Amino acid sequence: MPTPLQELAEHGQSAWIDYLSRPFIADGELAGLVGQGLAGVTSNPTIFQGAIADSDDYSEQMREVLRAESDAKEIFLALARRDIQAACDLLRPVFDRGEATAGGWVSLEVDPQLADDTAATIEEATRLHSLIDRPNLFVKIPGTAAGLPAIEECISRGIPINVTLLFSLERHRAAAQAYIRGLRRLQDAGGDLAAVASVASYFVSRVDTEADRRLDVLGGPEDLKGTLAIANAKLAYQSYRQLFSGPEWDRLAAAGGTAQRCLWASTSVKDPGYRDVRYVEELVGPQTVTTMPPGTVDAFLDHGHVEDTLENDLDDAHRTFDRFASAGVDYDDVTATLEREGVDKFAASFQQLLEGVRDKSDQLART
């Protein structure tokens, strides 16, 4: 009998985990989950901060790195490189079995402190792509105003990109258009479109957290709470279907181009009053990806229910937007706030990561 993760695959959705650490790979836990249907890995500064700074799992390698390197970021990249490459190698059979964006990918994020610097983002993404040197690596670039031209440029260079920190329909559409422009440029340069891919990481639960907070302030209808995030994702999927269809896209697809799938991120439930797997169960649909933190993966394996839900009640999704506007909740301001806060949080986590690396380096130097 298939596991719930394998059932997701049967419905055309690829299930990934938003977590990575050395013991997670070395102890066989990642391989065990792959055996149950897990198909990819995403990571971010917060995940690495906990994995590296708060354990001794990296001490031996760190001592080796410290013989030649003292810069905290370079030390981090040396440590992360080993983990990312190991995860890529473990997932390579999954990658080799299917369509480019279906599974087998591992994501590593550019320094989030570069989110407003297009040129520096391009340089760092190019460097990470070369440093990891695996065909199933996604380099994560935030879909900010400065990130969009970096995404186009990297795709044109044949670098697979996970566009992260997407909250709004407008930004999601812009990220898809940047990807398509990059594919065109790659094709014009004689590049291999089949060797590059992209996903658009559309953040879910954070939208409800911010929208519900504003409803509380405004005294808005209680029945609206917990509805905007799923409506938002459903309409993004409709946008995806429109953008990656028609004669223009068909020409790129015929040349090997793959569509930029929607990836549902931030799928853990922040409000304990909601079902713990609701952001997975209510966004199941073909040609999509869902990434879950470990707790949500465990919960979904335990009691997740799988059926196609992503295109249910689309009229209601549009009405949800109208009702939020009538209640005085400004959708554009909600998503702009979330993007700004998301960049700030990731940058702060990265800074904490570097501080943790420095502290650990100092400790090792004294022993």
pLDDT digits over 223-239, tens only?
Answer: 999 999 999 999 999 99
Average pLDDT, the chain: 95
Residue 82 Cα distances to 49, 55, 56, 87, 364, angstroms: 15, 16, 16, 9, 20
pLDDT at 211: 98
With a cut of 80, say whether residue 359 has pLDDT above it: yes
Range 295-324 average pLDDT: 97
Euclidean distance between CA atoms 109 and 101, whole angstroms:
17
For 48, the token pair is 């690495």
Residue in this structure with the two tokens 């394998």, named with its chain if needed: 6
Dump pLDDT digits (tens) for 138-188: 999 999 999 999 999 999 999 999 999 999 999 999 999 999 999 999 999
Residue in this structure with the two tokens 């249910």, named with its chain if needed: 312
Tell me which residue of 294, 245, 349 sits closest to 38, measured CA to CA: 294
With a cut of 80, say whether residue 101 has pLDDT above it: no
Catalytic residues: 140
pTM of the model: 0.96
With a cut of 80, say whether residue 117 has pLDDT above it: yes
Structural domains in the chain plus CATH codes = 4-358 (3.20.20.70)
With cut-offs at 50, 70 and 90, classify the pLDDT of residue 99. low
Range 278-283 average pLDDT: 98
For 347, the token pair is 């940058």
Residue 315 Cα distances to 169, 203, 287, 319, angstroms: 16, 21, 21, 6
Euclidean distance between CA atoms 208 and 275, whole angstroms:
14
Lowest mean pLDDT among 8-12, 89-93, 268-272, 302-306: 268-272
Residue in this structure with the two tokens 């983990």, named with its chain if needed: 83
Question: Would you say 203 and 284 are in contact if contact means Cβ atoms under 8 Å apart?
Answer: no
pLDDT at 100: 59
With a cut of 80, say whether residue 354 has pLDDT above it: yes
pLDDT at 56: 85
Question: Would you say 118 and 147 are in contact if contact means Cβ atoms under 8 Å apart?
Answer: yes
Question: Would you say 113 and 347 are in contact if contact means Cβ atoms under 8 Å apart?
Answer: yes
